[in-house]
Chains A and B, each alone.
Chain A
Amino acid sequence: MLPELGHFALILALLLAGLQAFFGIAGPALRKERWMAATVPAVAGQFVMVLTAVGTLFYAFITYDFSVRYVAENSNSALPLIYRIAGLWGAHEGSLLLWIVLLACWTVAVTLGSSQLPRPFASRVLGVLGVVSFGFLLFTLATSNPFLRLEPPPADGRDLNPLLQDPGLAAHPPVLYTGYVGLAVAFAFACAAMLEGKLDQTWARWTRPWTTAAWAFLTCGITLGAWWSYYTLGWGGYWAWDPVENASFMPWLVATALIHSLAVTDKRGLFKSWTLLLAIIAFSLSLLGTFIVRSGVLVSVHSFAADPSRGKFILTFLGTIIGGAFTLYAWRAPLLKSDAGFELGARESFLLFNNILLVIAAATVLGGTLAPIIADAMHQTALSVGPPYFRPTFLLTIIPLLALAAIGIHANWKRGRLADHRKDVIRTLIVSFICAIAVVVGIYAGHQIMTILGVTLGLWIISSTLVDPLQRWRRGIAIPRHILGMTIAHLGLGVVVFALTTVESFTVERDISLARGESAQVGSYDFRFVGTSEVEGPNYNAVRAEIDVTRGGSHVTTLYPEKREFWVQRQERTVAGIHNRYGSDIFIALGDDLGAGRWSLRAQSRPVIWLVWLGPLLMALGSLIAISDRRYRAARAASAAMAPLPGGASESAR
C-alpha cells in the first residue's frame, strides 16, 4: 500500500516539476505575474511529494518489506538499522531518488534565498531547475522505479553489498550528490541570465554563493569517498583514477575554475563567456558522471548494474538540456563583450591561466577516461588507460597551475603591480624551498626531484597565501570574511599538495607472511603477529588478528585487522587495522591463511595521511566562510536599483 503511495507521489512530483518548469520559463517570457508566482507552490508541492516518496521507501527498508523488489535486493533481515537506512542509496534506483530529493532541497533553498532577486530572474532559475527535476523524475519513473513489487515476496532479502556496509555509505553519497546537484543551481543561474539577456556583475554576485556552496559539498564528497576507500579496501588506496572517480573529479576541476571566473565577472564584468561556459560544462560533467555510473559504457567498480536503455535515456537528456544551454549561449554571445582592460601581471591574467589550465586538466582526464570507447569507435584493439597515464598528464597541467597560484595571489586587479610584490614572491619561494629540503631530506631521507618540487609548491602556496593577511593584521586593518575565507581555502590547497606529495613519496608498503609470534619490520615500525580469533558480527563471521606494533622497542599500539565473511552474499571484506600517530597512519590488513598458523599480511606506514583529508576540509571551510561575507547579502540593495536593460546597466555599450 505505502510503496504504491510513494509511486503515486513520484508521478505527482513529475507533474509539478513540469508545471514548475513551464511557469518558471513561460511566465517571465510572456510577462505573466501570476504564472511567475505559481512556480513557488509548484516547488513546494514537488518537495512534499518527493519527500513522501522517499519516506515510503525508507519505511519499506526499515520495516523489512521484502515485497518491494528494491528492498529485497538491497536489504536483509539481519542488516543493522543504519544500513537499512543508508542502503536506500546503495544501488541505482535509490541513488537516483537521492539525487531527486537533493535537487528538491536545493530548489527549496534557492526559493527561500531568492527573495531579494527580481521576480522574473528568480522564476527563470526555478524554471530551469524544474526542467532538470522533470528529466530525472521521468527517467526514474520510466526506467528505474524503486517501488516495483515482487510477487510473491521472498522470505528474505539478498542483503546490501558487504562492501557498502560501512559508515562511509551514510556520508559519502549524500554529501557528494549534494555537490553534484548544486552544480545544477549554477547551471540554472547561467541559463536564467541567458534567457533574460542580462549578464552583468550583479548576476555574478548572486550566483557566487550558490556555486561556491555546491563546490564545497563536492570537495567534501570527493574527500569522503577517498577516505572511505582508504580504510575499507585493505590496501590503503584512496584514488585509483577509476572512471567514476574521474566523473566526480572533472566537475570539481571545472567548478573550481567557475568559482574563480565568477570572481572576475563579479569584480570587473569580464570573462562572461568563460563563466557561462564553465557553468554549463560543470553541470554537463555532473550529468556525464550520472551517465557513466549507470550506462555500462565503462568498466568501473562503482558502476551500478548497467542497462543500455538507461544509458540512452540519460544521453538523450544530457544532449537535450546541454544542447539547449549551448543554443542559448550562441544566441546571447553578442551580449558578452566588455571594454575592461588588464595587464599581463594582473590578477585577471592569473585567473585566466587558472581557467585554462583547469579546463585542460579536466579535458585530459576526460580523454583518458573515455579513451577505451574512442579506441573502440576507431576500431582499434582494446585500449586501456589507468593511473600510469593519468598521473603524469595531470601533473603536467597542475604543476604550472600551482606555481602560478603561488605568484598570482599577490597580484592586484587590473594593474598587477607585481613589481611591488617581487620581494614577497622570491622570499616565499626561497623559504619554501629550504623548508622542503629540510623535510624531504632531513626527515624522510628522500631525494627525488618530484618530491622536492611538490613539497616546495605546497609550502609556497601556504606562505604566499599568508603574506597579505599577515600584512593586514600587522597594520591593524580588518580582514573581511571573503579574504579570510579565501586565505583558509588556499591554505587548504597548499596543505593538500604538501600532503599528497609526501604520502605518495614516502609510503612504505610490504607484503609479509607471519606465523604466530613472528614479527617483521616495515618502515620504522615492528609488527608482531600475536594470534587470531573468531568473532561473530550482526550479519557476518570474521577472523580477527591481533598485531602488536612497536617502535624502537616501545609499544605503540595493538591492531585488530579482520576478514569478514557475510552470511547472505558470502562475500568477504577486509577491515584493516589503522592507528593514527601524529597525523600519520600505521596500517595493516589481513591477507590469507597460508596454513600451519601462517598468515599473509599487508603492512603500510603512511606519513601525514591525515593532512590529505584535512586539506580539502580547509578548502571547503574557507569557501563557506567566504560566502558568508556581508557583501553577498548587500546584493539586495543593488538588485532593487537594477533596471533590466539588454546588456545590463553596469556594462558599457559596444
Chain B
Amino acid sequence: MALRIPIRVLIPAAVFIVLVAVLAVGIEHSRDVGTIHSPLVGRPGPAWELPTLTDAGRKVGSSQLRGRWYLLNVWATWCFECRAEHDTLLQMQKVSPVPIVGMDWDDDDARALDYISRLGNPYEAIAADRDGHTAVDWGVYGAPETFLVDDQGRIVYKYVGPLTLEVWRTEFVSRLPANPAPSGS
C-alpha cells in the first residue's frame, strides 16, 4: 500500500526539516558569528601616514614602510584585551623577523606614553591615529587587530583579537616569506 502524504502534512514537515538543517549549520558556524571578514585581505592596504607617538616631528606611514614586510598592530589604552596581548607582543618582537608597527587608536597621547613606558615597547614605531581616520580606512572595528602587510603594501592577513604565541605560530609564521626584507634603519 503506497503512502500518500497529503500536501497539508508535506509542506509543514518539509519546512520544518529545512529549518532544523539551517539551524544546525548555524551552530557549526556560531564561533564565527560577529567576526567581520575583511574584504581588504589580499588587496593593497590603503595608503596612510600618521605622526608618531614618541617623536612629535617624525611621521610613519605606508610609503616609509614600502619594501618591507611589517605587522600593523592596532591597540589603545582603553582596550581591555590589548593589555592582555601586550606581553605576547613583547615576546613576539624578540622572535619575529618582521617589525611590529603599532597604531594607537582613538587614544589620549599622555595615557598611551605612560602605558608604553610602564609596560614596555614592542613597536618599531607607534603611529598615533588620534581621530580614527586611518582605522576606519583600514576597516578596523574592534581593537586589538593585527595586519600582516607585505613589501608591496598588500594586506596578506588580518587577525582580530588578542594575539597569543600560538596564534603567532599557526597563523602568522606560515604566511611570512623566507626573506622578509632588509631591516629598516
Contact = CB atoms under 8 A, between A and B. Distances in A.
* Interface size grouping (class) on chain B: 20 to 34
18 contacts: A277-B8, A280-B12, A295-B27, A297-B26, A297-B33, A308-B27, A311-B23, A311-B27, A311-B30, A326-B12, A326-B13, A330-B5, A330-B13, A333-B9, A373-B26, A373-B29, A374-B22, A376-B29
B30 A330 contact: no
A291 B9 contact: no
A306 B33 CA distance: 10
Contacts of A374: 22
**Which 4 interchain pairs have the tightest Cβ spacing?**
A297-B26, A373-B26, A296-B30, A377-B25
B94 interface: no
A277 B12 contact: yes
Interface in A357-396: 366, 370, 373-374, 376-377, 381-382
A329 interface: yes
A644 B69 CA distance: 81
B22 A370 contact: yes
B30 to A, nearest CB: 4
Contact of A326 (B16, B25, B33): B16
What's the dominant secondary structure at chain B's contact region? helix
B37 interface: yes
Nearest to A311: B27
B184 interface: no
Contacts of A306: 30, 33
Contacts of B28: 308
Contact of B26 (A280, A284, A298, A333): A298
A139 B2 CA distance: 39
B31 interface: yes
Interface residues of A, number: 33
A482 B27 CA distance: 45
A318 interface: yes
Contacts of B110: none
Contacts of A277: 8, 12
A495 interface: no
B20 interface: yes
Contact of B9 (A322, A329, A376): A329
B57 interface: no
A323 interface: yes
B36 interface: yes
B83 to A, nearest CB: 14
A312 interface: yes
Contacts of A397: none
B34 interface: yes
A288 B9 CA distance: 21
A281 B13 CA distance: 11
